[in-house]
Structure 1
Amino acid sequence: MKRSDFEPLSYFNDEQRAAAADIYKIIEPNIIGEVPLPRISDETNIPLRTLQRWKKGYQKAGLSGLIRSPRSDSGSTKVDTTVQSLIENTRLKNRRISIATIHRKVSSQCEQQGLSVPSYKQVYKIVKSMPNSIIELAHHGAKSYSEKYDLIYTRESERPNEFWQADHTLLDIEVWDNKKQRRRPWLSVIIDDYSRAVSGYFISFDAPSAIHTALMFHQAIWRKENPEWPICGIPETFYTDHGSDFTSRHLEQVAMDLKIRLVFSKIGVPRGRGVIF
């Protein structure tokens, strides 16, 4: 299937895009070149051929290539979302628990709530598909999770557009706004780490938001009207802090679709911060 055979990401609804984003997160460790697919298959109990199909679809069409077409038999053996949540919560609340015990507990809860009782096979499949990282976080806490799964970017860029950084700052100047009031403006900047050139920027009296970041990111990627400002393109890695505008679902999905690796600074770790301001 060619890239043109896939619909653009905007063609799909929020639920479909969110589902595709969840699939991407499963294969992301392989996409960024660190974890082989067989290892992911062993950890998630997802068939290797399925992971290979997902990776191929993503490489051809970005996030759109991970949106699955509805099957004619879909729903025939599907577990209700409420029941699935019961299964997952039971697993997360108990550090050592067998699937048989999970099945027994969930079946009892379903009978009490008038829900369809899942089969042992359905419970087994759901439990085995839960990422180890989520289980680690639930059972051992954030510190253990961080030590095993968090990465901090430390190496220098070797070429343009390999690594972009973004940040906001409240400028130490006052200017007149439209209401003739003196206010300090916010400056948002995206910098190419290799050349230290400004790829995009946004100035506003309003505090940083997801909309402002999206507009700045679009400006950074797109060709500039000013021929003396040639910086543009799609970065390999986009590095930001944990601001709500940077961690918005829209930005995350755009990065996935354009095959940009999002890296967030590590909270509470100074060496994980950006160096723009």
Structure 2
Amino acid sequence: MHDSEGLGMVDEPALLERGVLTAPAEVWDLAVRRAEVIGRLATGATVGHVAADAAAVELGVSRRQVYAMLARWRAGSGLASDLVPGRSSAGRGRELLPEPVETVMREVLRSKYVSRQRRSLAAVHREVARRCRVQGLRVPSRGTLARRAARLDPVATTTARQGPDAARALQAAGGEPPPVTAILQQVQMDHTPVDLIVVDDRHRLPIGRPYLTAAIDVFSRCVVGMVVTLEAPSTLSVGLCLTHAVLDKRDWLERLGVAAVWPMSGKPLEIYVDNAAEFRGEALRRGCEQHGIKVKWRPPGLPHFGGIVERVIGTMMQLVHELPGTTFSNPRQRGEYDSDGKAVLTVGELERWLALAVASYHGQVHSTLGQTPAAVWAAGTAKTRPITVTGETAFLVDFLPVIRRTLTRTGFVIDHVRYFSDALKPWIARRDRLDRFVLRRDPRDLSRIWVLDPDGGVYLEVPYRTLAHPPVTLWEQQAAVARLREQGRAQVDETALFRMVEQMRTITDTAAATTRRARRDVQRRAAVPVARASAPGSVVPPPEPAGSVAVAEPFAVIEEW
């Protein structure tokens, strides 16, 4: 079969799927290049022959094809996938270590490897192996640990192990970060554990430290997006933060009960991130390409390239240290302070506090800018109107984890759970001619999936086949399967799976008054229905109890931002 747009011969089975994650690399790269050129043309009301001919030369196509692509771009959503010329079969995935093992490696590298004692990698691996065995985890190989160590910031690692003099040569290399001259030209993103113990909504007892993912507009120094979660940083965290950044925040602030102004929103031209695994996934990369967002990674050994977001997060944590229940930056700073005993804020109340604090910061004069970040943002939007997103779910879906499955007469089966909708029937009738489908799934709520239309390139929401099943999270589903395996179940059926989830929830609810982990599990589960109806990652807070501390202080240390 011949592709009329100049890609040559393409296998017919490869053309049976169309979409962001199904296009082969060379086809997708062509679509992205087309989107850059056609997107520029589409900003004008009319496109004359001179501009069309210039675009044709740049893309290596005819003038007629340029106008055809322009029409598709304007008729569609202005996405790169509108210009994908071909389709392909599914790609390949990759195996990841369980998160508890990754956590052990991170903690040991941080505490044992990055220190003046300069322990060898072999000694560090022995400590990782010891901790994994104590926790009943699989011991990673030394090579795996070495690869994790290689991802560490070379400058910070060398400074911690050998001192600043040894790291000076690394810091001097590479020059300065490229200049940023407009709002949303570059947004820096990063994660951190929050230096605060939070409590659950029901018992008001400690459940541990949450995580913060923040997105900062470099030009204006405005915080354009953030998300607070009880889950460790992941590709989903990045997608949630990006979704928060591009959306109008008025509805979100109203749901939080916060009377504040936070007008910063819009699609960034580029996100600037470190080299962590959650920033390297194919779903994030192609999701950003779908929406015209470039992803750039910091050069290894040049931490000052991403210093703006790190300074913002550092200042946030300094302010958090004033809240009851803070863990401070390290045990030495904490001393004998009882973080668990003093903890009073829930995740929702912490999110409200951060929203107020960020809004206050936007109104403070920034020493580097010479004016408030809000003023710089307002001046920037007067020149260039940001591209905002109204469809929260549609945007977030492009950043959710990807699964590939074959369609059967009864729908899709994922991890022993069946999904079905009458809208699948036309595809079922010709399923023998269709390859595996691309599915998206939100780990916070498995009660529905999104199926990529093999013809139109849009997503269709498909619920449980058995609608009586309750929404569950991915971690609940995985824990239930593991428990059934422990009981000797060679085959796990859907009924047994949901029955086990209910049993585990009952046990967890009973233990929540006394067990920290159980309270954290209950709190994670409590966010499931909220995630379907409100902003990504948000938690609707309960009525504020008497004496609760959720009052934001203005950001005083603007120098750090």
Instruction: With the length of structure 2 as denominator, give the TM-score of the two structures.
Output: 0.27
The structure 2 residue matched to 1:201, chosen from 226, 230, 243, is: 226
> What is the rounded CA distance, in whole Å, between the counterparts of 1:232 and 1:13 in structure 2?
24
Contact 1:166 1:274 in 2 (8 A): no
Following the alignment from structure 2 to structure 1, what is the Cα–Cα distance between the partners of residues 283 and 266? 19
Which residue pairs with 2:240 in the alignment?
215
Please state how far the C-alpha of 1:240 moved relative to its aligned partner: 0.8
- Worse overlay, 244-253 or 19-28: 19-28
Q: Aligned partners of 1:13 and 1:26: how far apart in 2?
A: 14
RMSD: 3.9
Asked if 1:244 is matched to 2:277, the reply is yes
Partner AA of 1:67 in structure 2: V
2:295 to 262, 265, 268: 262
Which letter maps to 2:186?
F
Q: Does 1:155 align with 2:172?
A: no
Change (3 A) 1:50 1:229: closer
Map Cα deviations across residues 115-155 of structure 1 (whole Å, 9 max, x no partner). Answer: xxxxxxxxxxxxxxxxxxxxxxxxxxxxxxxxxxxx98713
Q: 2:84 aligns with which of 57, 67, 76?
A: 67
Name the amino acid aligned to 2:247: W
Task: For 1:28 and 1:268, locate their aligned partners in 2 and report how far apart those are by CA, in whole Å.
Answer: 33
Q: 1:164 maps to which residue?
A: 187
Residue equivalent to 2:30: 23
Contact 1:265 1:274 in 2 (8 A): no
The percentage of counterpart residues that share the same residue type is: 23
Offset of residue 236 of structure 1? 1.5
- SS of the equivalent of 1:219 reads helix
Contact (CA 8 Å) 1:241, 1:274: kept in 2 or not? no
1:177, 1:183 within 8 Å by CA — same for their partners in 2? Answer: no
Q: Following TM superposition, by how much is the alpha carbon of 1:203 offset from its aligned partner in structure 2, in angstroms? A: 0.8
> Paired residue for 1:273, among 293, 302, 306?
306
Q: 2:301 aligns to what SS in structure 1?
A: coil
* Alpha-carbon distance, 1:271 to partner: 3.5
Q: Which blocks of at least 5 consecutive residues in structure 2 are unaligned?
A: 1-16, 39-55, 88-173, 254-259, 311-561
C-alpha distance 219-53 of structure 1, shift in aligned 2 (>3 A): farther
Query: AA paired with 1:236?
Result: L
3-state SS in 2 of match to 1:273: helix
Residue 257 of structure 1, CA deviation:
1.9
The 1:234–1:25 alpha-carbon spacing in structure 2 relative to 1, beyond 3 Å, is: closer
Secondary structure of the corresponding residue to residue 22 of structure 2: helix
CA contact (8 A) 2:214 2:223 kept: yes
How far apart, in 2, do the equivalents of 1:273 and 1:251 lie? 19
Match of 1:192 among 195, 204, 217: 217
Distance 1:153 1:210, change over 3 A: farther
8 Å CA contact 1:162, 1:235 repeated in 2: yes
Query: Once superposed, which parts of structure 1, at least 4 consecutive aligned residues long, lie more than 6 Å away?
Result: 25-31
Deviations 1:203-226 (A, max 9, x none): 112211111211110110111124
Larger Rg: 2
The structural deviation recorded for 1:17 is 6.5
Partner amino acid for 1:233? G
Contact 1:17 1:253 in 2 (8 A): no
- Deviation of 1:158 (Å): 1.9
Cα deviation for residue 250 of structure 1 reads 1.8
